[in-house]
Amino acid sequence: MAEQTIAELKRRMDGALDALRREFGGLRTGRASAHLLDQVVVKAYGSDMPLNQVGNVNVPEPRLISVQVWDRGLVISVEKAIRDAGLGLNPVSDGQLVRVPIPELSQERRQELTKIAHKYAEQGRVAVRNVRRDGMDAMKKMEKDGKISQDEHRQRADEVQKLTDEHIRKVDEMLAQKEKEILQV
């Protein structure tokens, strides 16, 4: 029973790391990346759709992203969605192809992005700690209900703490890597 709980906690903590990875993928580093446009949502066919569902996103050059829009009628919507996404990008359309040049980052913008990365990392740490708290509460309840002994509760609590420390360390490593990427000129 407690092993299932630990496996579930590990799965949830891994999910928090994946969410952080996606957040970091959306941070601009001065180089073009198809993941930069992952969060862009386009108003199409009466609903909001992710950009990758209305066209192909490619990176033909290090400082250019191209979006091949499948429906010519959506080109203007795609341009507007990219412009309004708050990424500081200015797309240019050429028929059904939307080109998104990646401007050079200023030092102030790099510092801003570093602060944002720190905020995302802290949210990741909080998510991992919340999973730990849920696990500890579940084990206290199992001990209270007589499903596990006090010794087993202590042992499992140590395992959960080790798992938490490992995931927090991974968050810190991901942050250090992203920071290095952002500050690289």
Location of each CATH 3.30.1360.40 domain in the chain: 34-101
Q: Does domain 2-25+106-183 have CATH number 1.10.132.20?
A: yes
- By the 10 Å C-beta count (0-12 exposed, 13-18 middle, 19+ buried), 183 is classed as middle
Summary mean pLDDT of the chain:
87
Fold for 34-101, please state it.
Gyrase A; domain 2 (3.30.1360)
**pLDDT tens-place string over residues 88-137:** 788 988 888 999 888 777 788 788 888 888 999 999 999 999 999 999 99
pTM of the model: 0.69
pLDDT at 73: 87
Distance CA 34, CA 183 (A): 20
Distance CA 53, CA 57 (A): 10
Distance CA 147, CA 127 (A): 27
HSE on the CB side for 18, CA within 13 Å? 6
Which amino acid is residue 27, in one-letter code?
Answer: L
Location of each CATH 1.10.132.20 domain in the chain: 2-25+106-183
Distance CA 134, CA 146 (A): 18
**pLDDT tens-place string over residues 7-59:** 899 999 999 999 888 888 777 666 777 777 878 889 988 888 888 888 898 88
